[in-house]
Structure 1
Amino acid sequence: MEKKTYYIAVGSGEMQEPEEATGNFEFEIQATEEEVDKLQDMFEELAMNEEDTAVRATIQYREYRSDKENDAHDGNLTEIYRMLHELGTPDTRKHIEAMNVLPRHERL
């Protein structure tokens, strides 16, 4: 399968091809259609997790570190960054490594 260039904005979950790019992106990746579909599914799951964490935020007695909704959100976000690192350009990989969002052994 042929890989194409995509520009990614994690915060909004946007993926744009070069001809659609508005300059509002954080990362550049090279991916097949299947990889882009998988990444899109991950962004959709992240959005659902964000809804769960928003509801959970109204429960004052639960701490962040012992909260399954936040764990799911954090785990999904880590998986997104892992995939972006795998598919990313050298600059994208370097940027993600500098963010320290992946376990150390995955950044080497």
Structure 2
Amino acid sequence: MSKQKYYVNLNPISMDDVSPVKIPDSTLIQYEIEATPEELEQLDTLLNETQDHDMEIRNLFSFRHFDESMTETDQHEYQHGMDKIFDMLYELGTPETKKQIKELHMQNHEPKRNMRNNKH
């Protein structure tokens, strides 16, 4: 299958926005990718799952903010989702998108460390 250009907006309110045309809004950061329909579907699923999880985290602060372990676990899962999104954006990205992601250091292949467990 041939790839088509798309623009991905990671605005927290509308993270699931993937458009075949660039939106004329200078306040949005849009990542240009080239994807097959199957790759686009995978990215869409990942974006929706991560955005849904972000909404759950916001609810945690309202209803379960007293349970710090639940909050930390959910934040870790959300960050893991964002890491997967940036990995996929980098993989599908145009040269300009790859450059943007590298410059922003949004792709991190080092293992995440829990600062609470690091006692020297």
TM-score by length of 1: 0.83
Tell me the secondary structure at the aligned position of residue 5 of structure 1. Answer: strand
Q: Is residue 2:9 matched to residue 1:9? A: yes
Partner deviation per Cα, 1:43-64 (whole Å, 9 max, x = no partner)? 1101210121011123444558
Q: Which amino acid aligns with 2:82?
A: L
Give runs of aligned pairs for residues 1-108 of structure 1, distance below 5 A: 1-11=1-11, 12=14, 13-18=16-21, 21-24=22-25, 25-58=29-62, 59-63=64-68, 67-103=72-108
Unpaired runs of 5+ residues, structure 2, are 111-120
| TM-score of the pair, normalised by structure 2 | 0.75
Residue 102 of structure 1, CA deviation: 1.4
SS of residue matched to 1:29 = strand
Output the amino acid matched with 2:95: P
Report the alpha carbon displacement of residue 84 of structure 1 after superposing the two structures with TM.
Answer: 0.3
Q: Equivalents in 2 of 1:48, 1:22: separation in Å?
A: 23
Does the CA-based 8 Å contact 2:5-2:34 persist in structure 1?
yes
- Deviation, 1:94, is 0.7
Identity %: 25
Letter in 1 for 2:31: F
Other structure's SS at 1:47 match: helix
Q: CA deviation at 1:41?
A: 0.2
Contact 2:6 2:34 in 1 (8 A): yes
